[in-house]
A and B are shown apart, each in its own frame.
Chain A
Amino acid sequence: MSTYTEKIREIALRLLKECKVEMVIGFRQGSVPMMSEPCVVRKHEEVDRLIWDSNCGINLANYLTNRKGKIGIVAKGCDSRNIVTHIKESRIKREQLVIIGVPCQGMIDKRKIAASVEGEILEVSENGEQVTVKTAEGVHMFNKKEVLQQNCCVCIHRNPVIHDEMVADPVTEQADVAPYADVAAIEAMSDTERWRFFDDLLSPCIRCYACRNACPLCYCPTCFVDESNPQWVGKSEDPIDVRTFHFLRAYHCAGRCTDCGACERACPMGINMRLLTKKLNKDCGALFDWQAGMDPDSRPALDVYKTNDPEDFIH
C-alpha cells in the first residue's frame, strides 16, 4: 500500500506541475486510529500530504459535485462508478477530471476491529495483508480479510471503471461472493419480523444526516427532509419520521448506489443502512439488468423507458 501512496504523490505532483489540474483531491493522514481525512492539494509542496491506506473509505466523488475547474481525483472502484454517475447526472464534466485510479484491495472496518478487541484502540498499522492493532490491553494481529468493511467483502468492482492514470496494476476481481446474501435473509423474514428488524435497525438514528451528506448521490439543493413549504417529514426523533427519512433516501438512491459504504462508515451510531439501498440495487439488477456507474455511455435504468420494461406490478 505504501507504493500506492508514492504513486499518488508522484502523479499529483506531475499533474500540478504540468498544470493539467488546479487541485488534487485525495486523503491525508488521520489524527486518530483507522481514520483518514479527505483533503485538497493545490501546490507542489503539498503533495506529500497525500496518503493511501485501508482507511480511505470515504467516497471522494462526493467532493466533486458542482465543482468548477480542472480537478485531479483519487478514485477506487466504487468511487469511479460514482464519478460515472456524476457525469451522467451533470454534476461534473468529464473534461474537468483527471481520474487517478486506485485498484482497491478493500477498506478495513473500524467497528469490526473494535468489536474484536478488548480495551481502547491506540494504534492500527498495516503491512501487506496483516493488520496490527495495539490496544491498552495488548496487541492483536488480523488478516485484512477478517476485518474488511462489509461492502468490500462482497465487492466485484475493485478496479476503477474509468481512469486517466492508474497507481498500480489492476487487481483480480473477487469471485464466489454473494453480494445480496444479507438482503435475501431479510426478504425471507415474515412481515412482522421484517418490521421489527427495520425498527431495531433504525432506532439508534439521531438524524445527524452523516449518511446523506457522505453519499455522492445526495446532492439535492434542498433535501426532502429540509423542505418546509410544504413540510414532508418531521424533524424529531419520532420513529415514523426516522423511517421515512431512511426509506425515502434509499429510494432516491435506487439504481444509482454503488455500495461504496461511505454512509455506514460515516454513521456515528453504526447503523447498517446499506441494507436498504442494497435491496433496491438487487431489484434494479433483477428488473432492469442494471448496475450503477458501470458504463459511461448508457442511460441509468430509472432514466429511460424500454418497451420490454417489467409491467407485472400493473394489475
Chain B
Amino acid sequence: MKVLKIEKSQWSQGLEKLQGTYRLFGPVKEKGSHNYQELSDGQQPDLTFQNTRLSPKSLVFPQSEEMLNYSLNEGEADHHILKETPKDYSPRAVIGIRPCDAKALALVKMNFDTDQYKDPYWLNLYNATTLVGLACSAPCSSCFCTTAGCGPFNEEGLDVLLVDRNDQYLAKPLTDKGSALLVGAGWTDTADDAQGGIDQAKTEAEAKITAKIETDNLRGTETMDLYNAEFWEDASFACLNCGTCTFSCPTCWCFDIQDEVYGKKGIRMRNWDSCMFPIFTVHTTGHNPRDTKLSRVRQRFMHKLKYFVDKYEQGIMCVGCGRCVRQCPVNIDIRKISALMNSVGANTKCTV
C-alpha cells in the first residue's frame, strides 16, 4: 500500500468528509491538558500535543459501561432475566493516537480476545474503530517506548501512520481499514519516495528518546526470586495505593462488575478497577491475600514486568508512554523498579 501525502490545506475538508461515515475522536485541550474526546461536526483534533493525560483506552473500554439490563417488576414477563444492552458499534475513527497507545490496545486485546472467551463489548468497539496514528517527532523526556518494545514510529496496532512534515502529513496505510479511511476522506495523492523520509524521521525521533527501561533479564529470572526480593519494602513505601497509575495506563484493564438498581429497573455495569486498591482482592470472609501495600505494589510490577512476559511471550505489559511516571503523586517510577527487578536476575545468574 503506497504512502500518501495530505496537504494540511486538505486536512479539515478530509475530516469533514469522514464525519459522514465515522464518529471521530481525537485529542482536545481542556482545562490545561489534552484528552481524547468525540469531535463534533467541524471540530478539529488538536494535534499540537505530546501525549494526552489519560490514555485513549476509554474509547474502546469506557470507564463505566453498562453491559446488561433487567426489570425487577414481577408483573413483567421476563422479570429478573438479564438482557444485553444494545450498543452503537457504528464505525468510528481515532485521529491522532500515538503509536505507544495503539500498541497498548493490541496488547490488551490479548486479554479480551481468547480462544475460550471473547469480550463482546471491548472487541466490538475495537473492531469498529480505525486507528489513525500520529508518529512522535518530539517525544517527551519521560517516554521510554524504544526500550519497551515500541517506538515513536511504531506501526503495531495502527491502521494508518501519519508523519507530520510541516505543511503536509505523510499517511502510510497499514491495513485495509486504514486504506478505506484514507479513500473515504478523499486523501488519495501518493507521495514519492516517502518511505525514505519516514525512515529518516523515525531514526531522528528514536534518537531523541533518552529515558529507558531495563528488562532483558526478567524473562530468565525465577518468579519467586523476584517475588521474594528485598527491595520491595523500600520501593513500595511511598505508594498511596490510589488508582492514578492504573487508570492512566493504556495497558491496564482490570475492572469490577456491579449491579445498580433504580426502583424496579436495574443494570449490570463494569467500572475500571485497580489492583492498587486495598479491597481489590478481599474475600467475603474478610481474608485478603494482598492486604499489605507492599503486596499490592509488588503485584502491579510483577504483573506488568514478569507474569505478563511469561504468559504471553510478547514482552512487557508496558509501552513506555510515561504517564504513570509523570502522574504518580509520590513519584513511584516503573523504570526504577524494573531496574531493581532486572538486577535480581543479574545477581542470581551464574557468572562462570
Is B243 a contact partner of A206 (Cβ separation < 8 A)? yes
Task: Contact check, A122 vs B141: say whether CB atoms are below 8 A apart.
Answer: yes
**How far is it, in angstroms, between the C-alpha of A30 and the C-alpha of B54 when the chains are bound?**
22
Specify which of B31, B53, B279 is in contact with A226 (CB 8 Å cutoff): B279
User: Is B240 touching A214 in the complex (CB atoms < 8 A)?
Assistant: yes
Q: Which residues of B contact A204 (CB under 8 A)?
A: 31
**Inter-subunit contact B325/A209 (CB<8 Å):** no
Q: Please give, as numbers and ranges, the residues of chain B lying within 8 Å of A226 by CB-CB distance.
A: 277-279
B330 and A235 contacting across the interface, CB-CB below 8 Å? no
How many Cβ-Cβ contacts under 8 Å join chain A to chain B? Answer: 104
In this complex, what residue of B is CB-closest to A37? Answer: B331
Question: B279 — which chain A residues lie within 8 A by C-beta?
Answer: 222, 226
A209 engages B243 (CB within 8 Å): yes
Indicate if the CB atoms of A266 and B329 lie closer than 8 Å: yes
Q: Contacts of A114 on B, CB cut-off 8 Å?
A: 32
Interface centre among B242, B256, B258, B329 (most CB of A within 10 A): B329
Are A32 and B243 in contact (CB-based, < 8 A)? Answer: no
Residues of chain A lying within 8 A (CB to CB) of residue B327:
268
A270 beta carbon closer than 8 Å to chain B: yes
Give CA–CA (A37, B258) in the complex, Å.
Answer: 35
By beta carbon, the residue of chain B nearest A57 is B329
Say if the beta carbon of B10 comes within 8 Å of chain A: no
On chain A, the residues within 8 Å of B237 by CB distance are 38-40, 63
Q: B247 touching A206 by the CB < 8 A rule? A: yes
Task: State A266–B242 Cα separation when bound (angstroms).
Answer: 9
Closest to A62 in B: B240
Q: Which of A37, A111, A236 has the most CB of B within 10 A?
A: A236
Quick check: is B128 within 8 A (CB to CB) of the other chain? no
How near does chain A come to B117, taking the closest CB pair, in angstroms?
Answer: 24
B142 within 8 A of A: yes
Cα(A231)–Cα(B63), bound, Å: 20
Closest A residue to B274 by beta carbon equals A208
> Interface stretch among B39-47, B105-113, B148-156, B332-340?
B332-340
List B contacts of A206 (CB < 8 A).
Answer: 54, 63, 243, 247, 272
Asked, given contacts A111-B32, A206-B54, A236-B64, whether A31 binds B335 with beta carbons under 8 Å apart, the answer is yes
Name the residue of chain B whose CB is nearest to the CB of A122.
B141
For window 103-161 of A, CB contacts with B under 8 Å fall at 111, 114-115, 120, 122, 136
Contact between A31 and B325, CB atoms less than 8 A apart: yes
- Additional pairs, 12, CB under 8 Å, beyond known A31-B331, A136-B138, A210-B244: A31-B325, A36-B331, A37-B330, A37-B332, A38-B330, A39-B237, A40-B234, A111-B32, A206-B243, A214-B242, A266-B329, A270-B33
